[in-house]
A = this chain, B = another copy of it.
Amino acid sequence: MTTIGFIGLGVMGAPMAANLVKAGYEVTGYNRSPAKVEAFRAAGGRGAASVAEAVDGAEVVITILPDSPDVEQVVLGEDGVLAHLATGAVLIDMSTIRPDVARDVAAAGSARGIRVLDAPVSGGEQGAIDATLSIMVGGADDAFRAAKPVLDAMGSTVVHVGPAGAGQTVKASNQLIVAGVLELVSEALVFLDAHGVDRQRAVEVLAGGLAGNAILDRKAAGMLERRFDPGFRVDLHHKDLGIVTAAAREAGVAIPLGAHVAGLMASLRAQGHGSLDHSALLLQVEQLSGRAGADDT
């Protein structure tokens, strides 16, 4: 049976690791905060007191951390994952980070005989709990095949999208589209309101046609009720759009709407709404339209 080291027991990582335990894997979890390690033990996992301890003897190591510098430190750092992981093991980084950092990590692993996959997820906390995440995987074929059963225990859509970094690139595209559609739906909702239209019926008919999208299906009702508790925080989406715009700039790719919505998200955050759900883009459209606005939440 595969032994797994799991580093990062946060909002997403904790339920993902618990699903691996449920699937019968022997999982040793580590987090900087001992309380989270303790909670994982209570959920049936093993706890480790250090990265080294979590990694030691593991055939597969999973990391899911906040941002690129965290991954660089935990994986590449002096006492990090690669310093302790055995040759032949597979490292699956499920953080959302910069594609170029993912490629660097893969190269560093390769130099030590360790196979690395970048495998960011979408689907949110609920998807993590229900093991219905979408997982977009970059890396070599054989590493993907080796990791597939482990990933299947955490997600319902597990797709190998290309070489190292490709998973992060697809995740970046995902965040570009999600932000843009959130903004478009916000603009439509304010537009409809200004013209006195019954918005719930409008959402119903819009959702059924070529304008249909997951934001209308899953988020519009909450937006109409002005519920902006996260969900996915503006702060995090702002971070991700930084990845998108940097990766597009590096590749010389024009993303006019993507860059525009990145600015709007940054502005929403600068106005103090970083901890709201990203659907709070609605507040900014209202503000720019002189209606209600960001201050009444």
Which of A's residues lie within 8 Å of B, judged by CB? 99, 122-124, 134-136, 138, 157, 159-163, 165-166, 169-170, 172-178, 180-181, 183-185, 187-188, 190-192, 194-198, 201-202, 204-206, 208-215, 218, 242, 244, 247-249, 251-264, 266-267, 269-272, 285, 287-291
Contact = CB atoms under 8 A, between A and B. Distances in A.
Given A123-B209, A206-B173, A198 B161 contact: yes
A261 B254 contact: no
B184 A180 contact: yes
Contact of A184 (B99, B135, B169, B177): B177
Contacts of A135: 205
Given A187-B256, A202-B161, A134 B209 contact: yes
A122 B206 CA distance: 9
A161 B263 CA distance: 28
Given A191-B176, A205-B157, A267-B288, A197 B169 contact: yes
Considering residues A135, A198, A205, A270, which has the most beta carbons from chain B within 10 angstroms of its beta carbon? A205
Nearest to A262: B259
A180 B257 CA distance: 8
Contacts of A175: 211
29 contacts: A122-B211, A123-B210, A157-B204, A157-B205, A157-B209, A159-B205, A160-B201, A161-B205, A162-B201, A166-B195, A169-B191, A173-B188, A173-B202, A175-B211, A176-B184, A181-B181, A187-B253, A191-B248, A195-B251, A210-B218, A254-B267, A254-B270, A255-B263, A255-B285, A256-B288, A259-B262, A259-B263, A260-B260, A270-B291
